[in-house]
Structure formats: structure tokens, C-alpha cells
Structure 1
Amino acid sequence: MAVDPHKHCPICGTPIPLNELVCSPDCQKVWDARLNQQKRSRLILYVVIIIFLVIWAVMTFVK
């Protein structure tokens, strides 16, 4: 009683073939929205880190 090789949709958990990313266009929309949010969050994090580094550099080297 072996199960064919498969993986599960990261959005809804439905079994899908190994070469598929998601199971449906609806799940693809959710997946794309999550990726965009992740990119936006990462960009905001980088901007905040750069701002803190600039403030630190100004406070350290300009007296």
C-alpha cells in the first residue's frame, strides 16, 4: 500500500504532483500575495537597519 510521490499545496494542504507549486489559481493568488508581503517586509527591515546604521555613524563620528 504505497503512496505515489507527491507533495502538498502550501496554502490548503491538498495533495499535488511534485512539479506543481500550488493546486489552483485561487491558491496561486494567495501564494503571490504572501510573497509580495514577504518582499515588502524584508525591504522595510533593510531600510530600518540602514537608518539605524546612519544614525549610529552620525552620532559616533560627528561630535
Structure 2
Amino acid sequence: MAVEPHKHCPICGTPIPLNELVCSPDCQTVWDQRINQQKKTRYALTGVIILFLVIWGIMQFMK
């Protein structure tokens, strides 16, 4: 009794074929929202790091 090769939907855990990303349009919507949130978080973190470096650089030259 071998199980066909498959993977599971990262949103709901339903078994799906290997060539699919998610199992349904509802899960695709959730997946897209998660990706967009990750992008926003990454941009915000990059902005905070750049702001910190600019402030640090200004403080170094003001000594």
C-alpha cells in the first residue's frame, strides 16, 4: 500500500499534488495575504535598519 507522492497545503494541510501550491482559491487568498504581510515586514525592518545607520552616522560626525 504505497501512497502516491504528494504534499500538503501550507494553509489547511489538505493533501495536494506536487505541482500545486495550495488546494483552493480560499487558501490562495490567505497565502497571498501572508506573502504581502511578509513583504511589508521586510520593508519596515529594512527601513528601521537604514534609519538607525543614518542616525548612527550623524552622531559619529557630530563628535
TM over 0.5: yes
Give 1:62 deviation, angstroms. Answer: 2.2
| 4+ residue runs over 2 A deviation | none
Corresponding residue for residue 55 of structure 1: 55
Using the size of structure 2 for normalisation, the TM-score is: 0.97
Structure 1 runs not aligned, ≥5 long: none
Sequence identity, in percent? Answer: 76
The AA in structure 1 aligned to 2:42 is R
Q: Distance in 1 between matches of 2:59 and 2:2?
A: 65
Aligned length, in residue pairs: 63
Structure 2 runs not aligned, ≥5 long: none
Q: Pairwise CA RMSD of aligned residues?
A: 0.5
Using the size of structure 1 for normalisation, the TM-score is: 0.97
